[in-house]
Amino acid sequence: MTPYWKNLYCALLVTLMGVPCLGAWEQITWTGPVTAGFRTTFTCSSYCLPNCTYTWSFLGRTVNGSTLSWTPDGLDSTVELQCNVLNPETGVSSTMTSVVEIKNRVSVQISPTNTVPSLNKSLDLVCHDATSFHLSGPSHQVVWYKDGQKVTLREDMQLLQSTSLHFDSLLPSDAGFYQCETSVPTLQQTRVFSLGYLLSFDPWNVSISGPDTVFPGRLSKFTCLTSCTLYVDCTVRWPFRTGFPIGTYLSVHENELKWTPSIPGTFQNFTCVAENAAGGRSAEATKMVEVKGTLGSGSEAGKLSGLLAVILGLGLLMLFDS
């Protein structure tokens, strides 16, 4: 239904029947991506006679009016926007919520690229803008933070070209989560916080627990064991590089994988990857699993193969836990 017909329908409900037209037509809209350091205008719309009253709630703030102009500072990757719509004539209200993803083009990168931080070795952390590679000039004064606190320079630490944090010799105490704060080239010269970088020296050990041999129709469980802390130091994913496991059930949830195979005489490789995108670090392990057993008669095998084809075609083979 077009906005014109929505409004007409709402007007009829309110005028002829006294029914408030809230809860069906509210929406939160905006144009383009929401980017840290850049202003975005959000619009909350509904229908009331004579007019609606709008109130925004986000990040502990409250703003009145149907439009909200907001510049993210880069500290959040997603923000929940709530708009409350009130019909002052009837006292009826309704609340809508939208979760907004925030893009951040400023990040902390390591130099030289792909360097593995090592104790007693030198290292540069660079405040990097994806649109211009290096932030430079007087308008791009960079402030460095470690674990949320401003960095205090030691004798063996320097700020290079206002954008890089240089360590002559890394110490164990230098481990932590680093962010830089700088301005982006907008009319307002808005200050933004970068995506963070986790500086760590501990090696990650990754292995996969579970049986080496499995059987058709029997559920088996595999666990990705890591020495890093999930969702603090690293996240875990299971890339199926040699194809999806064939079976009647497959569940992947965080570092656990459950599988019920269906075709004997086959092999399946499971790979678990532990990674920290911010720190550019990853480690992985691979486990080969053999499916043993027999299908039975040829007709049963044909039926099972046909059933598997139907399941695959319907996209029901993989059931991912939320």
Cα angle for residues 59, 193, 118 (degrees, 5° grid): 130
The predicted structure's pLDDT at residue 274: 93
CA distance 255 to 69: 40
Sign of the dihedral through C-alpha 149, 155, 157, 161: positive
Q: What is the mean pLDDT of residues 202-211?
A: 86
Query: Any idea which fold 106-199 has?
Result: Immunoglobulin-like (2.60.40)
Q: Residue 6 — very low, low, confident or very high, per pLDDT cuts 50/70/90?
A: low
Contacts 24+ apart (CB under 8 A), 8-15: 10/47, 11/47, 11/49, 14/48, 14/49, 15/49
Architecture (CATH level 2) of domain 206-295+303-314: Sandwich (2.60)
Q: What is the mean pLDDT of residues 184-189?
A: 64
Hey, what CATH class is 3-103 in? mainly beta
CA distance 254 to 66: 40
How do residues 239-284 score in pLDDT, each as one tens digit? 999 889 999 999 998 899 999 999 999 999 999 999 987 777 889 9
**Cα dist. 305→255, 300, 311, 313 in Å?**
30, 8, 10, 12
**Cα dist. 236→26, 74, 134, 136, 256 in Å?**
38, 25, 31, 36, 9
DSSP per-residue string spanning 223-257: EEEESSPBTTTBEEE---TT-PPPEEEEEEETTEE
Q: In one letter, which amino acid is 288?
A: M
How confident is the prediction for the chain on average, in pLDDT?
A: 81
- Say whether pLDDT at 165 is over 90: yes
Q: What is the mean pLDDT of residues 81-107?
A: 91
Q: Residue 122 — very low, low, confident or very high, per pLDDT cuts 50/70/90?
A: very high
The predicted structure's pLDDT at residue 188: 61
Omega cis (within 30) before 112: yes
Q: Give the start-to-end residue ranges of the domains of the chain.
A: 3-103, 106-199, 206-295+303-314
CA distance 177 to 229: 14
pTM of structure: 0.61
Sign of the dihedral through C-alpha 178, 235, 287, 317: negative
**Residues constituting the chain:** 322
The predicted structure's pLDDT at residue 117: 86
Phi, psi of 224 (to 5 degrees): -85, 115
β-pairing, 213-214 vs 281-291, is: parallel
DSSP per-residue string spanning 67-99: EEEE---SS-SEEEEEEEEE-TTT--EEEEEEE
Q: Residue 307 — very low, low, confident or very high, per pLDDT cuts 50/70/90?
A: very low
Q: What is the mean pLDDT of residues 196-206?
A: 83
Instruction: Establish whether domains 106-199 and 206-295+303-314 are of one fold.
Output: yes
Q: Residue 12 — very low, low, confident or very high, per pLDDT cuts 50/70/90?
A: low
The predicted structure's pLDDT at residue 9: 55
How do residues 210-236 score in pLDDT, each as one tens digit? 999 999 999 999 999 988 878 777 899
User: 159 has which bridge partners?
Assistant: 165
CA distance 237 to 239: 6
Q: What is the mean pLDDT of residues 119-143?
A: 75
- Say whether pLDDT at 206 is over 70: yes
The predicted structure's pLDDT at residue 322: 39
Dig out the tokens for 196 from the structure. 């963070």
Q: Residue 306 — very low, low, confident or very high, per pLDDT cuts 50/70/90?
A: very low
How do residues 42-73 score in pLDDT, each as one tens digit? 999 988 877 899 999 999 899 999 999 999 99
- Say whether pLDDT at 133 is over 50: no
The predicted structure's pLDDT at residue 214: 95
Q: What is the mean pLDDT of residues 291-295?
A: 81
Residues 6+ apart with CB under 8 A from 93: 22, 84, 85, 86, 87
CA distance 35 to 73: 9
The predicted structure's pLDDT at residue 299: 38
